Structure 1
């Protein structure tokens, strides 16, 4: 007996266990501040001239699409009389707005609300305060700074109960700056493969398994396989059966098909896996959530799948190994009723095509 060497135990069983892994954060603005210049087309019974004002809006998010917007406006309407005092006007109130596409880059919205109005008319201080109600349509541009600053414009019909009741039209344009931020951490379950070890005389020797597929490097003929795919005895992805894995972390810039820097790092590993196994053919499948028009989502998912394929081609992958298909919103894996579900549905899959 050679000091337990003949009694060495080979613990080569791969023990699969579930462990939590942190996915990418979901960042969402919870409040914002808008400062806007306003052109006023007054009721003809009020004046035949025009008016101008400044509107300040504090927006507070209620959910993905709904916002409450307290606001203050102060301005002046021309009287057209050279010796007369101008017609001063203020509003303090709140609107409820609905943004059709949530946090999409280009966001139309509708609003309705009301509040208190003050009308300071020359030589008439008998009834300064009244109430008002307004409805409107507007647009928010895509962010044009890293902080998320956007252009905002809207048109409103305003009914003022001052005096004999007036109906004014307001056209507003200005800047919206995001304030509060909510960062949600998405925690998911992933499969962890414990590495095989050899127990030798009270000593544990760990055998390297660089791609964590359960086949040690000395035996592995495909050393760069993606985690989550089933491999054969020599560590190559089984191509006699259909398999699928989500390329977690492959994301795109807001509402576009431009890959983020983090996505490129992950795709570099996917490129190594494809180049290391010539008989591995895959479908690169793009998916979206259901926010926006179905036809637009279909087109966007195809562009994103094509962008992934183009990047892998640049990394030296054989074109015959890959096809790119966009499925739009047609194959959700979670409910689109929650932000977490929509984020899970926006994904790129690596689907093995069986031989």
Structure 2
């Protein structure tokens, strides 16, 4: 019998387009056959698309808007964030070799630097705790807070007026998943 190729490896190859696929593995009927594999790959692709995941070098990067995960000025995860976090968990689980996961909290510029730093750390820690409670090995994950130090959009317009849309984009938790 030929060696089985882990489904996570195939999903990673298909998702990353990393070279040619290995020869077709022997898949036992108990594993769901090719139809089961196809379904799991499709599920992974759907999870990545739903979260707007992108590849940067050897990482998969997911930006989770803070307003989806948390109420304003809070770090407790909202119950309705479970769907997005479950998709994230599936993407992490599909990476072969147990790659490192870096969870980075970010804020807008409203509030003091020290307050925003603490809030970003608590938010990153809350996402880490949620994932750990659902089976992602804690040793794989690092949670960091960057406060308002790494904006992805201006917090104010060039004339100094507030930019609510820019501030909203800056309030996020970014997850960087190393490819195995």
1:330 CA displacement: 0.1
Instruction: Look up the SS of the partner of 1:226 in the other structure.
Output: helix
Pair 1:321–1:223, CA change in 2 (3 A) = farther
Is 1:245 the counterpart of 2:62? The answer is yes
1:250 CA displacement: 3.7
Greater percentage in strand: 1
Residues 96 and 179, structure 2, Cα contact 8 Å, conserved in 1: no
Pair 1:314–1:219, CA change in 2 (3 A) = closer
Paired position in structure 1 for 2:48: 226
1:267 CA displacement: 0.3
Match of 1:217 among 15, 38, 52: 38
Give 5+ residue unaligned stretches, structure 1.
1-215, 231-237
Instruction: Look up the SS of the partner of 1:286 in the other structure.
Output: strand
Between the two proteins, the alignment pairs up a number of residues equal to 135
Paired position in structure 2 for 1:290: 109
Instruction: Look up the SS of the partner of 2:54 in the other structure.
Output: coil
Is 1:349 the counterpart of 2:174? The answer is yes
Paired position in structure 2 for 1:268: 86
Pair 1:328–1:247, CA change in 2 (3 A) = same
1:218 CA displacement: 6.5
TM-score, L = length of structure 2: 0.64
Greater percentage in helix: 2
1:300 CA displacement: 0.5
Where do 1:162-241 residues align within 5 Å? Answer: 217=38, 220=41, 223-224=43-44, 226-227=48-49, 228-230=53-55, 241=58
Residues 76-122 of structure 1: per-residue CA shift (max 9 Å, x gap): xxxxxxxxxxxxxxxxxxxxxxxxxxxxxxxxxxxxxxxxxxxxxxx
Please, what is the CA RMSD of the aligned residues? Answer: 3.1
Paired position in structure 1 for 2:95: 277
Where do 1:304-343 residues align within 5 Å? Answer: 304-337=123-156, 338-343=163-168
Residues 223 and 276, structure 1, Cα contact 8 Å, conserved in 2: no
Question: Comparing both chains, which one has the higher relative contact order based on Cα–Cα distances under 8 Å and sequence gaps of 6 or more?
Answer: 2
Separation (CA, whole Å) in 1 of partners of 2:120 and 2:69: 12
Is 1:257 the counterpart of 2:79? The answer is no
1:342 CA displacement: 0.4
Separation (CA, whole Å) in 2 of partners of 1:316 and 1:302: 21
Residues 95 and 179, structure 2, Cα contact 8 Å, conserved in 1: no
1:335 CA displacement: 0.6
Residues 250 and 348, structure 1, Cα contact 8 Å, conserved in 2: no
Pair 1:270–1:243, CA change in 2 (3 A) = closer
Give 5+ residue unaligned stretches, structure 2.
1-36, 157-162
